[in-house]
Structure 1
Amino acid sequence: MPLGGGDIGMNVWVEKGAVYFYISRTGTFDEHNTLLKLGRIKLELSPNPFTNTEGFVQELHLRDGYMTIEQNGTKVQLWVDVFNPAIHTEVISKTKTDLIVSYENWRYKNRPVLGKANNANSYKWAPQGDVITYADTINFHKNGVLFYHKNRAQTVFDVAVKQQQLASVKNEMMNPLANLTFGGFLFGKNLESGSTYKDIYESTDFKGFSLKSIKGAKKHSFSVHLSTEVLSDTKEWKKKLLQSIKADETKKAKVQSKNWWNNFWDRSFVFTQKRHVTEHDSVYQIGQNYQLFRYMLGCNAYGKYPTKFNGGLFTYDPVYTDSTLKFTPDFRNWGGGTMTAQNQRLVYFPMFKNGDFDMLPAQLDYYVNLLKNAELRTNVYWGHHGASFTEQLENFGLPNPAEYGWKRPKDYDVGMQYNAWLEYQWDTSLEFCKMMLDLYEYNTEDIQKYIPFVKSCLVFFDEHYQYLAKLRGRKALDGEGHLVLYPGSAAETYKMTYNANSTIAGLQVITKMLLNLPLDYLSDSDRTYFEAFQERIPPMTFKQINGNKLLTPAVHWERVNNTELPQLYPVFPWRIYGVGKPQLETAINTWELDPDAQKFRSHVGWKQDNIFVADLGLTEEAAKYTLLKMANSGRRFPAFWGPGFDWVPDHNWGGSGMIGMQEMLIQEAGDSIYLFPAWPKNWNVHFKLHASKQTTIEAKLEDGEVKIIKVTPESRKEDVIISLQ
């Protein structure tokens, strides 16, 4: 069961009478870009209250953001400080108990990483020589346990820079891995140092460091304080960590954290079948799991790094996902510091309608921090301007080394990934441009810090495709004065495309949104440039099937590599087509008649069919795919979906499900706000969601009757249209 807050995530369970929890935190990347856990805590009580299942209760108190475990008159309460990196555990018993709390770590020694285990780091299937997860430093310290991992100066960043021939600008590049130090301190008032021990959990050996209570008591407490910093001097790291611990402020921090969670739940929600609540009701489940997944996202509200699509902070022993993968708890498929933009976007887009604007900087600032590295690689490789962001992007802005390719043709473009799925896939960065601009649309935030990023991404397309055209012939533009977007890519599916509609739609929407900002966001020269660029973007293309007009993936493509539907990206994420918008029938025809749209349909993982049909107002199909996608996962915690195409818990599975439910409840077209555009009339729901122009709407559908509870600001009531079918 997950627990977290701020930027900390834990998995908490009881096994053989002991309470365990894994500790994860954003940004804990090792030399090879594995996202390492910070260890495991084991809590034992004597006499042991957790002896059987009778009367056992483990409860996640969503409203207040804490967890309790109760049995036989003993309660264990766990909570995370939202504003400071600290975990707190309190034990209250009717009679005195003795406590042992142990810090357990499988990185007590150097561990070779072999075979598929490298899928957790940036080497993946192509490790270069021996890969070793280096040992942590773990010691008793002042009746506590101090533990940390310090990266060496040489990391996969250096390997990638050399591989990708960027040594000439290496000193100008941002390097997040060298000397990164992360760990923490376990301690408690009534605790003293105990013994060490070694054991095996599942397939992984580990070493434990125990603290024991000085005397029996009815109340015990202990804390784990964490620190992550780039510091070459570990003494300085230890000093700063220990000085940050202010035990007398714990009570105040608990109240502040509770208040944060209360406010979090007040700003948006979706409850389904409220008058007919049963956990076996499939419609009830989708609302329950919407809330549970949002809680998981809230556990990384303030991380330096975004919540990862492939498990977030809540991965666990891989044998429970795939029994053949007998690796350490650090394992997750598809890397630790590698960001797959097509998947990440699905984790962060739902935050807008949830009103979780304070959670977006973790993802958006991540890209802004990589801007210089992306611009440097563009200039080194092709001698022009703009930021070239690729899919499978490392947290230092370069392509993943394995997918860049180690065995490359001698004369192959050094700036390109030698990868059949990823070649020429530049446009995933545009969706994060949209999020940046949406912050203004939804919340009128000052987004000035994001404008250089947005401009640079657009400039890349303008200059790079003119550059490529000039390599092929005399002219930089086609006969109509438009860019020739060739070679391109429509997601990972349609490869070597000519004018992919997904790319064209993205360029059109981002340029329009940029030019629609208040005048002070762009200089006169910038405005003139982007107005001209807008005219150079080619029009989207269509085809006919039995006299019906459809969107195409592109004018032309050479092969099909995956099972996405980029021909429907003008519906989502670009929202050119949708309820209340022109030519909706064209998009519906695409969904219904396109052979690949029919063949690729699924609810699994990052599949977006539930979103497409919701945006098209196809209520029956939206209900079908939402019930499939947001059903209980089959695991103990209902929102631990996956592995799908990725890992458990699959966050892009949850994110795409959440987006689809939002679109079923509320869509916008111009100033109009459509309520229930794809929501079944017989599904009871009570929701509060956000729309553009700092608008919130709370409404109910109960037994077929709609009640609008509150629209803020009131002036937007006149824009609301009930479109229940």
Structure 2
Amino acid sequence: MKFVFFLFIQLIAASLFNSCLSQQNGLASCNVNWHRQSKNSSGSMPCSGGDIGLNVWVEDGDILFYMAQSGTFDENNTMLKMGRIRIKMSPDLLSNTTFQQQLNIYDGNVIIQAKDIKVVIWVDVFKPVIHAAIQTKKAVSIKASYETWRYEDHSISESKELRSSSYKASQPFDVITYKDVVQFTNNSIVFYHRNRNDVRNIFDYTVHAEHMDSVKESMFNPIANNTFGGMMLADNMKTAGVDSGKYAGTSFRSYSLQTTKPVYQQNIAIILNTKQTTTIGKWMDDLTAIKKSYNSKENFIKTKNWWHQYWNRSYIFIGGIDSSMSINYQLFRYMLGCNAFGKYPTKFNGGLFTFDPVYVDSSYPFSPDFRLWDGGTFTAQNQRLVYYGMLKSGDYDVMKPQFNFYTRIQKNAELRSEVYWHHAGACFTEQIENFGLPNIFEYGLKRPQNFDPGLEYNAWLEYSWETVFEFCNMMLETQHYNNDDISYYIPFIESCLRFYDEHYQMLAKQRGSKVFDSSGHYVLYPTSAAETYKMTYNSTTVIVALQTVLEKLLSLPSPYLDSVKRDRFTTMLQRIPPISFSNINGHTTIAPAQTWQRIQNTESPQLYPVFPWGIYGIGKPGLDTAINTYKQDPQVIKNKSFKGWRQENIFAARLGLTDEAFALTKAKFGAGKHRFPAFFGPGYDWTPDHNWGGTAMIGLQEMLLQADDEHIYLLPAWPKDKDVSFKLHAPHNTIVAAKVKSGKVVYLNVLPASRKKDVIIMLK
């Protein structure tokens, strides 16, 4: 294969020109431009496509980037980096006063240039290939090195470092990150990590500790034979030996390719491959097949065009002194688009863009593989906040990795119900592993004798099962918004509902002779209102989740459900108890539950009927009750913040509280402490904090547009003195584009035009 790049350098120049013309020149203003090199990896910027993420920076004249890909889980379920690339040129042409590094989001690439050099780094959206294309005015010698810190087995002795694996804490056995294989092959460098079958792994350990051995052979196992790595190659470069060094306190070994003579142009390519294969030979065959079939020129155009259509779906541009809000909105959305085709969802705690942890928090001096709350654990309460904003941005295809994460582990969740309680339905916990069981640390190994093996012995997580309905809701909303065919997801939604139906009837039968209360409703006890109100009776979050999902399921067109299922779910809907209320300072407010045992965390589940469930909001009954809850409930007031996953800005926007919504959302979109402005956090989790960015994104969208089946509320929480133009999506295949200038709506376009009559302008 010839990775010829210089033949279409002119295409790159053209794409830069097009970027300036796109979306009223707005996207060009969102490009990130640096005019000095970075001090270290914390001064990196993202560059990605498909399911690959790079952190790119220039340091002391060297171009460096970390490589990450969706699904790189090792034996401990740590999500490992693919390695680090270093490109060094002699003479050094980048240490020049004309230095510039730009993230061009319209084309999805990074351009590094100085007086006599231009380097374009891009990732193919459709094939797992990374390119670094170099063009110079002076002949240079180029060394490209693959750097790995996993050149020997590493025993994780510090309990803090174990937080990056699914073990989370010290074990009575050694937890080892096993070394990778790196080798020179035909003037290329091949590197990979293949999970070993002859050592302890987190899947086997968890299945046994959680008493699921009897069905182990029927379970989905993402760890066995998982193999990830790649090949670095370049025309007219030869192998140049092995060296060693240290970066950010972590030792590494480097394997290099060197140009055979000084050159004016050079393309370096890295092919990645993450797959469960029966043999390493099969994995190598797949890698070679990508190499043989690849056409860089054709795929560069396809990649660029994909990004162009992505940006054409939606946008938000804010004028004046608040423009940084929309810039960071676009930059965060760029990072979400970088995992459009990932096998796994974008992780809330850094996605594909984590860097050396010592630069996030000096108390974590570990390898680049480290992040907090890691392992194969996907915390549902956090993950949902990464994905909700994709509905209004029209990025329905980008939501599929999160949906497929759940459908892939559905059977394992159903087996939990079968083994523990002998009934049907999928039981999904909070802090869930990529194979559908609770994280073993959160499950709790020091458990009382005869404690229900299906429960997490955990003060925060006990009975926290309802968050899965938020993903059911998103699945249903893609049909509501875009008329997507969601037939594939219906069995999943049905199984989640069936669990609650059968489980809470079972619990009621264990306590007494009556299954339902005196009104014929479920007795939803014990439940949990998020992680905060524990051992609840009739949790509000459970009630509104069941009610909303059932109503939306029953409202689907007739082919989705037969008459038997419709009758079953109609009966289930009738059994949902009503929401409970409280009286605070003479005001009626939403209660988090009918009763509860204790308060464990700092969430505000009493406002979940506002978001995500939309029971209360603009144009809906009981808006005053929801506003009272936001303004009067002492727990809500005490915990109000813009930090991390906190969603008070979304509550305020949905309630039409303009000043609070704008102040909190602006604070959320404030630049973080790192050089790239959308590397938020760490908040409560890690950097980049993607649920920090997600809540900011949702809040901004909700200030501009809210909708139900009948109405589109335009600018329901937008300050009249703030200029803005936007294009967002609403239910029933509706797209709304509008522009506000000097307190007036000066442009409004609604597609289809028939929906314009449903628009209610609320600019105050």
Q: Measure how far apart 1:236 and its partner are.
A: 1.9
- Deviation by residue 1:388-422 (Cα, 9 ceiling, x = unmatched): 00000000000000010111101110000000000
1:179 Cα offset (Å): 0.5
CA positional deviation for 1:12: 0.4
After the TM superposition, which residues 577-656 of structure 1 pair with which residues of structure 2 at under 5 Å, given as runs? 577-656=616-695
| Partner in structure 2 of residue 89 of structure 1 | 132
TM-score (norm 2): 0.93
1:218 aligns to what? 264
Instruction: Give the deviation of 1:248 after TM superposition.
Output: 6.0
Return the offset for 1:707: 2.5
Q: Distance in 2 between matches of 1:128 and 1:198?
A: 33
8 Å CA contact 1:580–1:669 kept in 2: the answer is no
Corresponding residue number in structure 2 for 1:208: 254
What is aligned with 1:44?
88
Q: Pick the aligned partner of 1:98 from 120, 137, 141.
A: 141
- Residue of structure 2 equivalent to 1:372: 411
* Mapped pair 1:231 → 2:282: no
Q: Which of 419, 426, 451 is the matching residue for 2:465?
A: 426
Q: Deviations over 1:210-236 (max 9, x none)?
A: 100011111011100011111131122
Q: Helix, strand or coil for the counterpart of 2:446?
A: coil
Partner secondary structure for residue 289 of structure 1: helix
Contact map agreement 1:76 1:89 (CA 8 A) in 2: yes
Give 1:681's aligned residue.
720
After TM superposition, give the deviation of residue 634 of structure 1 in Å.
Answer: 2.8
Shift in CA distance, 142/715, structure 1 to aligned 2, threshold 3 Å: same
Q: Which residue of 2 aligns with 1:18?
A: 62
How much does 1:258 deviate? 0.3
Can you list the C-alpha shifts for 1:182-216, whole angstroms capped at 9, x where unaligned?
10000000210001001110111010001000111
Q: What is the rounded CA distance, in whole Å, between the counterparts of 2:511 and 2:261 in structure 1? A: 80
- Alignment of 1:123 with 2:167, yes or no, is yes
Deviation, structure 1 residue 16: 1.2
CA deviation digits over 1:234-290, x for unaligned, max 9?
1221122012114761001000000000111111001111xx3xxxx3x11110000
Query: Which secondary structure state, in structure 2, belongs to the residue aligned with residue 360 of structure 1?
Result: helix
Q: C-alpha separation between the residues in 2 aligned to 1:475 and 1:169?
A: 33
**SS of equivalent residue, structure 2 residue 284:** helix
CA contact (8 A) 2:459 2:600 kept: yes
| 1:70 aligned partner | 113
Post-superposition offset of 1:643: 0.7
Would you say 1:150 and 2:189 are equivalent positions?
no
Q: Which residue identity does 1:478 align to in structure 2?
A: D
Cα deviation 1:556-592 (Å, max 9, x = unaligned): 1111111000000000000011111111001000000
Which residue number in structure 1 is paired with residue 430 of structure 2? 391
Asked whether the 8 Å contact 2:610–2:626 carries over to 1, the reply is yes
Call closer, same or farther: CA 1:240–1:29 in 2, change over 3 Å.
same
1:523 equivalent to 2:589? Answer no
Q: Distance in 1 between matches of 2:372 and 2:445?
A: 20
Residue 126 of structure 1: how far off its partner (Å): 4.3
Distance 1:248 1:347 in 2: 32
Mapping of residues 429-468 of structure 1, within 5 Å:
429-468=468-507
Q: How far apart, CA to CA, are the structure 1 residues paired with 2:316 and 2:358? A: 34
* Cα contact 2:708–2:731 (8 A) shared by 1: no
- 1:104 is paired with a residue whose SS is strand
Q: How far is 1:128 from its partner?
A: 4.3
Could you list the per-position Cα deviations for residues 32-76 of structure 1 after superposition, in whole angstroms to 9, with x for gaps in the alignment?
100000000000011101225x22100001111111111131111
CA distance in 1, matches of 2:172, 2:219: 23
In 2: Cα distance, 1:11 partner to 1:660 partner: 27
Letter of the structure 2 residue corresponding to residue 57 of structure 1 = Q
Q: Which runs of 4+ in 1 moved over 6 A?
A: none
State the shift of 1:545 in Å. 2.2
Supply the AA of the counterpart residue of 1:642.
G
Give the number of equivalent residue pairs: 717
Which residue pairs with 1:112 in the alignment? 155
Tell me the SS of whatever aligns to 2:55: strand
What is the distance in 1 between the residues matched to 2:479 and 2:695?
23
* C-alpha distance in 1 between matches for 2:683 and 2:484: 36
Partner Cα separation in structure 2 for residue 656 and residue 248 of structure 1: 39
Q: Any conservation in 2 of the 1:38–1:183 contact (CA below 8 Å)?
A: yes
- Measure, in 1, the Cα distance between the counterparts of 2:223 and 2:411: 17
- Pairwise CA distance, 1:710: 1.7
In 1: Cα distance, 2:293 partner to 2:56 partner: 23
1:267 to 276, 289, 313: 313
Residue 615 of structure 2 aligns to which amino acid in structure 1? Answer: I
Q: Does residue 163 of the first structure (1) align with residue 204 of the second (2)?
A: no
| Alignment match, 2:14 | none
> SS of the residue aligned with 2:750?
strand
The reply on whether 1:187 has 2:242 as its aligned counterpart is: no
Separation of aligned partners in 2, 1:684 and 1:132: 55
Matched residue, 1:339: 378
- SS of the equivalent of 2:67 reads strand
Match of 1:354 in 2: 393
Q: Output the amino acid matched with 2:220.
A: M
Do 2:585 and 2:632's aligned partners in 1 also have CA atoms closer than 8 Å? no
The answer to whether the Cα contact below 8 Å between 1:148 and 1:181 also exists between their aligned partners in 2 is: yes
2:300 counterpart residue number: 254
The reply to whether residue 329 of structure 1 matches residue 371 of structure 2 is no
Contact 2:709 2:731 in 1 (8 A): no
Q: Is 1:33 aligned to residue 77 of structure 2?
A: yes
Counting aligned pairs with the same residue, the percent is 52
Q: 1:21 to 1:474 in 2, by over 3 A?
A: same
SS in 2 for 1:699: strand
Match of 2:179 in 1: 135
Contact 1:581 1:669 in 2 (8 A): no
Structure 1 residue 703, shift from structure 2 partner: 1.5
The answer to whether residue 103 in structure 2 is matched with residue 60 in structure 1 is yes
**Matched residues in 2 for 1:228 and 1:545: separation?**
54
Distance 1:270 1:568 in 2: 26
Q: Is the 8 A contact 2:538 2:593 kept in 1?
A: yes
Q: Structure 2 regions of 5+ residues with no counterpart?
A: 1-44
Q: Deviations over 1:416-466 (max 9, x none)?
A: 000000000010100000011001100111101100111111111111111
Unaligned runs of 5+ in 1: none
**Aligned twin of 1:302:** 341
